[in-house]
Amino acid sequence: RISPGIADLIKTLKANNTEVFLVSGGFRQMIKPVAFDLGIPTENIIANQLLFGSSGEYAGFDPTEPTSRSGGKAVAVQQIRQDHGYNTLVMIG
């Protein structure tokens, strides 16, 4: 469930040309629909990726995602700053 006011906040940020990212320790497959509803592009999602074998069995998660490790959100924030050249980045939630 999305916290009250978040959708309006994201609309306001986007209306003011502020890029919005979704960084989560959750799983990308579950976060993607929420991000879509909020108007956050797939490339602006940093989250864990579940992996499945050729028969559809669970095979773990992608250990290269920064959010798959302790302190991963801080790493993701630094990655966003570096990749986009931001001096200031605000994290909510």
What is the gyration radius of the CA atoms in the chain, in angstroms? 14
Total length of the chain? 93
Instruction: Give me the pLDDT at residue 92, please.
Output: 84
Average pLDDT, the chain: 93
Assigned fold of 6-84: Rossmann fold (3.40.50)
Instruction: Give me the pLDDT at residue 49, please.
Output: 93
- Per-residue HEC secondary structure of the chain comes to CCCCCHHHHHHHHHHCCCCCCEEEEEEHHHHHHHHHHHCCCHHHEEEECEEECCCCCEEEECCCCHHHCCCHHHHHHHHHHHHHCCCCCCCCC
Listed by start position, the domains of the chain span 6-84
Confidence of residue 89 (pLDDT cuts 50, 70, 90): confident
Instruction: Give me the pLDDT at residue 29, please.
Output: 93
